[in-house]
Structure 1
Amino acid sequence: MRTALVIGTGLIGTSAALALAGRGVVVHLRDHDPERARTAAAIGAGTDEPPDGPVDLVIVAVPPAHVATALADAMRAGSARGYLDVASVKGGPRRELEALGLDLTSYIGTHPMSGKERSGPLAGSADLFEGRPWVLTPTRDTDTEVLNLALELVALCRAVPVVMDADAHDRAVALVSHTPQLLSSMVAARLQEADETAVRLCGQGIRDVTRIAASDPRMWVDILSANPGPVADVLSGVAADLDETVRALRALQSADESKRQGGVEGIEDVLRRGNAGRARVPGKHGAGPAAYEIVAVLISDRPGELARIFADAGRAGVNIEDVRIEHATGQQAGLVQLMVEPSAVTILTASLRERGWSIRQ
């Protein structure tokens, strides 16, 4: 791949363009808002000048509702050897293209499973896709050259290719991406009118659950509008669990011991099923979540403190598998939770204490 045209310079389009430009591909940028394309060009994602002729690959990075139109325009203009989109929904756009009577041998639907709460070209990053799954949805009609171009794009972005059927992909993202976004927003919405004393008690748990609720509502309306059926199916199951959980909680208020016991069993059931589901979420290097232990260290909010604690862990010969920071409300301090192998806990704890760190249980 020597040349590419990216249509749509939001987060995903700009990030892909930055990755390609950084690896020597000549990238042309186009957006319905020319200012966004100029912004992407200014940060090194390519040029907002149109290509002189056909490019190797057109990458359409527009909202799902506009994917088919943008692809059709590019294909009818003979803009490239191959065409792909990066929308988060795959079945709908392909069916729209088929209905337009286009030859789809030069097209493949794709979806990089990566993103941020921020949007727009300035949120773009060349390493956004690194190590992340990038779904490809070829059909028997897809030309081998186009599949190879898509695989080259994934490799240049340092992502991991995953081949799926388009409709199976849409059902999967409804479960692992679209429904979590709605549930996060629903929980965060409870905070909108909450008493200030309650909000001040927010800890890491509520921050984790509501992190993606900061996403752009307009973008998510576009995504959910393109995949409403599968998302509604997943939410229907969640709603059934919610109904059962509400009944179980009400039963815990009963004076009848048998009803209270039924409530306990209902709550325990959903929590245990949650444990089982969480255990299936891939962890480090794609393996199942490891049983790491946490070493919690009090840390002050000063420049260089994180670097120092990581360096001290390295001196102890301990690999930090993961890290979280729990900030203390109203204080210039917090807890750094260092996730390590169980066998490393004693060594790390002793070593950090020797170097003056305050360890918390």
Structure 2
Amino acid sequence: MRTAVVIGTGLIGTSAALALAARGITVHLTDHDPAQARTAAAIGAGTDEAPEGQVDLAIVAVPPAHVAATLAEAIGRGVARAYVDVASVKGGPRRELAALGVDVTSYIGTHPMAGKERSGPLAATADLFEGRPWVLTPTRDTDHEVLNLALELVALCKAVPVVMDADAHDRAVALVSHTPQLVSSMVAARLEEADETAVRLCGQGIRDVTRIAASDPRMWVEILSANPGPVADVLAGIASDLEATVDALRGLQSADVEKRRGGAAGIEDVLKRGNAGRVRVPGKHGTAPVAYETIAVLISDEPGELARIFADAGRAGVNIEDVRIEHATGQQAGLVQLMVDPRAAAALTAELRERGWALRQQ
């Protein structure tokens, strides 16, 4: 690949363009809003000038509802040797292309599993896809050279290729991406009219659950409109669990001993099933999750404090596997939670105490 055109310069399209441009690919940028393409060009994602001839790869990065029409127009003009889209749903656009009678031998549907709560070219980064799964959905009609160019795109973006059937992909993202967005928004919506005294009690749990509720509603309406059936199926299962959990909680309020016992059993069941599901979420580097030990350190909100604690961990010869920060409400301090291999916990604890850090029990 030497040349590419990115059609749609939002977060995903511009991030892909930045990654390609950084690796020497000549990238042409186009968008229905020329100002957005100029912004992407200004931050180094390529040029907003049209290519003089056919490019190697066209990357269609537009909302799902516009993918098929955009692809059909580009393929009809012979813009590129190969075409990919990066929409978060795959089955619908493919069926729309078939209905339009488009020759899809030069096309492969893809979906990089990466994103942010922010959108637009100014939120884009060249490293957005590094280490993240990038789904490819080839069919028997997909030309071999097209698949190779798509794999080259994934490699240049330092992502991890995953080959799936298009409809299987849509069912999967309904479970692991689209439904969590709605559930996060539903929980966050409870806070809108909550008493201020309740909101002030917000801790890390509610922050974790509601983080993605900050996403752009317009973007998510477009995504969910393209994959409503699979998402509704997952939500129906959650609704069933919610109904059973409400009944169990009501049972815990009862004066009847058997109802309280049944309520406790119902709550325990859903929590245990949650444990079992959480264990299946891939851990570091996509491997099976590992049980790390957490060391909590009180840290002041001052420049250089995080760097100092990481440096001290390095002096102890301990690799920090993961890190979280829990901010203290109304205070210029917080807890840094360092996740480490249990075998390294004692050494790190001793080193941090020796260097004056205040540790807290978890």
Tell whether 2:180 aligns with 1:180.
Answer: yes
Cα distance in structure 2, aligned partners of 1:72 and 1:28: 19
SS in 2 for 1:252: helix
Equivalent residue, structure 2, for 1:307: 307
Cα distance in structure 2, aligned partners of 1:235 and 1:102: 34
With 337-346 and 224-233 compared, the bigger mean Cα shift is at 337-346
Cα distance in structure 2, aligned partners of 1:275 and 1:288: 14
SS in 2 for 1:102: coil
Cα distance in structure 2, aligned partners of 1:127 and 1:88: 19
Tell whether 2:276 aligns with 1:276.
Answer: yes
Equivalent residue, structure 2, for 1:196: 196
Cα distance in structure 2, aligned partners of 1:195 and 1:165: 47
Cα distance in structure 2, aligned partners of 1:61 and 1:175: 22
Equivalent residue, structure 1, for 2:318: 318
Q: Unpaired segments of 5 or more residues in structure 2? A: none
Cα distance in structure 2, aligned partners of 1:202 and 1:97: 47
Equivalent residue, structure 1, for 2:349: 349
Equivalent residue, structure 2, for 1:290: 290
Cα distance in structure 2, aligned partners of 1:131 and 1:246: 40
Equivalent residue, structure 2, for 1:125: 125
SS in 2 for 1:174: helix
Equivalent residue, structure 1, for 2:53: 53
Q: What's the CA shift for 1:154? A: 0.0
Equivalent residue, structure 1, for 2:22: 22
Equivalent residue, structure 2, for 1:135: 135
Cα distance in structure 2, aligned partners of 1:85 and 1:212: 24
SS in 2 for 1:108: strand
Alignment of 1:54-133 (within 5 A): 54-133=54-133
TM-score normalised by structure 2 residue count? 0.99
Cα distance in structure 1, aligned partners of 2:31 and 2:63: 12
Cα distance in structure 2, aligned partners of 1:72 and 1:29: 18
Alignment of 1:227-266 (within 5 A): 227-266=227-266
SS in 1 for 2:326: strand
Cα distance in structure 2, aligned partners of 1:110 and 1:346: 45
Number of equivalenced pairs:
361
Equivalent residue, structure 2, for 1:328: 328
Cα distance in structure 1, aligned partners of 2:353 and 2:255: 50
Q: What's the CA shift for 1:98? A: 0.4
What is the aligned-residue identity percentage? 84
Letter in 2 for 1:7: I
Q: What's the CA shift for 1:152? A: 0.1
Cα distance in structure 2, aligned partners of 1:264 and 1:283: 31
Q: What's the CA shift for 1:173? A: 0.1
Q: Unpaired segments of 5 or more residues in structure 1? A: none
Cα distance in structure 2, aligned partners of 1:185 and 1:289: 27
Cα distance in structure 2, aligned partners of 1:81 and 1:311: 49
Cα distance in structure 1, aligned partners of 2:214 and 2:62: 20
Output one character per residue of 1:301-330: Cα deviation in whole Å (capped at 9) or x when no partner.
000000000000000011100000000000
Cα RMSD after superposing both structures: 0.4
